[in-house]
Amino acid sequence: MKIEEHEKAYKEHLANIKKAIEEGIEENQRNIGYNISQGSVELLAIYLHKLRLLQGSGDQIDHRIFKSDNLIKKRIPFDFPSKQGILLLMKSIELERTALCYENRKPKNRINKSIRNFNELRKIINDNLGGLKNGKNIENK
């Protein structure tokens, strides 16, 4: 997928997350879990495109790889700024996706933890992009 498509999808996930939070996180845990997971994947794809580590439309990142350290190493073998922290957050977000989307209702603090992890991921990536030559913060496009 081209970077423009990732950006469009990312904005859609952000809007869905905001709406779900406004309507109540406990009632919308599945929407939150799904949109945080997919939004994180889109955000990572944008970041890797901007670092020129993903090229063109053939490179896709499947959210399920973040459940497995072996798959992460296989699919994302290259280095990039804040890689370890980003991948730890991606793994946490993906594991929570399963719990939030497919299991029984979770306590509010657990849903909030996913939201905090997503916001931390956004901060790390945007801080790193701000340090790039001609880098633009993804949130302020």
Span 64-80, pLDDT tens digits:
999 999 999 999 999 99
Tell me 107's DSSP state. -
The rounded percent of the chain whose pLDDT value lies above 90 is: 83
pTM: 0.90
pLDDT of residue 42: 96
Where would I find the H helices in 24-107?
29-50, 69-75, 83-102
Question: How many domains, the chain?
Answer: 1
Structure tokens that stand for 128 in this block: 């790193």
Q: Which residue has the tokens 């990142």?
A: 61
Dihedral Cα 83, 12, 100, 70, nearest 10 deg: -30
Domain range for 15: 3-140
CA 87 to chain centre: 10
pLDDT of residue 133: 56
